C-alpha cells in the first residue's frame, strides 16, 4: 500500500485545528510544530506461537519469557501465559461488572485498566493476587510505562500521563499526523523512547514521539493473520504489542487470534 492511502486511513474527519482540543484542557497551549509524512514500515514474521483464541486481548507485555495479558468481555481476566505454547499458567478473572482493558508492569506490580468503570487494579506479578485498586477519570483503553510515568490511552487522540504511585494525572499530549488528530489509540507499548499504539479497527501501529505527540512512523501489519482465520469480522482486530527489550524481540497479536507473532520491521518504504 502506498503511503498516502495509509495516512488517509488514520486521519479522521476533523480539521487540523481540532487536534489541540482533542487532548483536553491539560494539554500545552503552544502551537505544535508542523508534521511531516511519517515513514511506513512493513514486516516479516520471525516465528509464530499459539495463542488462546478465546482471549479478547486488551494489554500485552513480556517479562522473563512469560507473557502477561489482560482480556476483555465476560469474564475479563488477567493472566500469565507461557510464550512457547500459549498455555495459560495462571488466570484471575475480574468481577462481571468490569470490562478489562490495557496493562503494564512495574517492578513486580501489574497494573490494569477497565473500560468505563473508572477503576484500575494493581496485581502481584508473581501470583496475580490483588494488591490495591485506584480510580481515574474517563475511559481506560491502553497502558504503558516510560520508566517514570504511566501513559494511558482512552480512545481519543490524547495520551494521558499518570503518576505511577498516586495515579494522579500529570499531563496530556495530542497525537497528530500531518497536523490532524489520530484517534482510537488503543493498546500501548514503550519501545526505545517511543510510544507504539494500535489504532483500533485498523491494521496499523503508530509510533509516537511522547514529547510532541507527533506520529514518527507507521507500521502496516495488513495480512498478518491469514484471511478467513476468524469468521467474525468484529474479532479480526489487531491488538496487543509486547517488546522484549533484553532480546530485542517484538510480539504482536489480536483479539481472539489463534496466533501470536514475533515480527521484524522492514523498510521504511
Q: In the structure grid, which three cell numbers stand for residue 174, read together?
A: 495530542
* 97 against 229, higher pLDDT: 97
* 36 against 26, higher pLDDT: 36
Which homologous superfamily is 33-266 in?
YVTN repeat-like/Quinoprotein amine dehydrogenase (2.130.10.10)
Average pLDDT over residues 217-224: 95
Q: Which residues contact 3 (CB under 8 A, 6 or more apart)?
A: 37, 40, 269
Q: Contact at 8 Å (CB) between 32 and 212?
A: yes
Q: Where are the alpha helices (DSSP H) in the chain?
A: 3-10, 18-22
Mapped onto helix, strand or coil, the DSSP state of residue 193 is coil
pLDDT band at 109 (very low <50, low <70, confident <90, very high): very high
pLDDT band at 226 (very low <50, low <70, confident <90, very high): confident
pLDDT for the residue 28: 37
pLDDT for the residue 24: 34
Average pLDDT over residues 143-149: 98
* 87 DSSP assignment: -
* 3 against 149, higher pLDDT: 149
pLDDT for the residue 192: 98
Distance between CA atoms of 120 and 188, rounded to whole angstroms? Answer: 16
pLDDT for the residue 8: 59
pLDDT for the residue 29: 33
pLDDT for the residue 7: 58
pLDDT digits (tens, 9 = 90+) for 240-268: 999 999 999 999 999 999 999 999 999 99
pLDDT band at 26 (very low <50, low <70, confident <90, very high): very low
Q: Is 109 exposed, middle or buried (0-12, 13-18, 19+ CB in 10 A)?
A: middle
- Is pLDDT above 60 for 17? no
Distance between CA atoms of 32 and 248, rounded to whole angstroms? Answer: 32
pLDDT for the residue 5: 54
pLDDT for the residue 12: 42
What is the 3-state secondary structure of 119-155?
A: EEEEEECCCCCEEEEEECCCCCCEEEECCCCEEEECC
pLDDT for the residue 153: 98
| Domain edges within the chain | 33-266
Distance between CA atoms of 234 and 99, rounded to whole angstroms? Answer: 17
pLDDT digits (tens, 9 = 90+) for 157-193: 999 999 999 999 999 999 999 889 999 999 999 999 9
The residue among 186, 53, 76, 190 whose CA lies nearest residue 123 is 76
Mapped onto helix, strand or coil, the DSSP state of residue 211 is coil
Average pLDDT over residues 36-48: 94
Q: Which residues contact 241 (CB under 8 A, 6 or more apart)?
A: 60, 187, 188, 189, 196, 198, 205, 250, 251, 252
Average pLDDT, the chain: 88
- Is pLDDT above 70 for 82? yes
Amino acid at each position: 500500500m502506498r503511503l498516502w492511502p495509509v495516512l488517509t486511513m488514520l486521519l479522521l474527519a476533523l480539521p487540523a485545528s481540532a487536534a489541540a482540543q482533542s487532548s483536553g484542557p491539560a494539554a500545552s497551549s503552544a502551537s505544535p510544530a508542523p508534521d511531516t509524512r511519517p515513514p511506513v514500515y512493513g514486516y516479516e514474521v520471525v516465528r509464530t506461537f499459539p495463542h488462546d483464541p478465546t482471549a479478547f486481548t486488551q494489554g500485552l507485555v513480556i517479562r522473563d519469557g512469560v507473557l502477561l495479558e489482560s482480556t476483555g468481555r465476560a469474564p475479563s481476566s488477567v493472566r500469565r501465559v507461557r510464550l512457547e505454547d500459549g498455555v495459560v499458567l495462571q488466570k484471575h478473572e475480574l468481577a462481571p461488572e468490569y470490562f478489562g482493558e490495557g496493562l503494564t508492569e512495574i517492578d513486580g506490580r501489574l497494573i490494569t485498566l477497565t473500560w468505563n468503570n473508572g477503576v484500575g487494579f494493581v496485581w502481584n506479578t508473581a501470583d496475580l493476587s490483588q494488591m490495591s485498586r485506584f480510580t481515574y477519570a474517563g475511559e481506560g483503553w491502553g497502558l504503558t510505562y516510560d520508566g517514570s510515568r504511566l501513559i494511558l490511552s482512552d480512545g481519543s487522540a490524547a495520551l494521558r500521563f499518570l503518576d505511577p504511585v498516586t495515579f494522579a494525572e500529570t499531563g496530556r499530549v495530542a497525537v497528530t499526523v500531518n497536523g490532524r488528530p489520530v484517534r482510537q489509540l488503543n493498546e500501548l507499548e514503550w519501545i526505545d523512547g517511543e510510544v507504539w499504539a494500535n489504532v483500533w479497527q485498523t491494521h496499523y501501529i503508530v509510533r509516537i514521539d511522547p514529547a510532541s505527540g507527533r506520529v514518527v512512523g507507521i507500521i502496516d501489519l495488513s495480512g498478518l493473520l491469514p484471511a478467513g482465520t476468524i469468521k467474525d469480522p468484529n474479532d479480526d482486530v489487531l491488538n496487543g504489542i509486547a517488546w522484549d527489550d533484553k532480546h530485542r524481540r517484538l510480539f504482536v497479536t489480536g483479539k481472539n487470534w489463534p496466533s501470536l507473532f514475533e515480527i521484524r520491521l522492514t523498510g521504511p518504504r
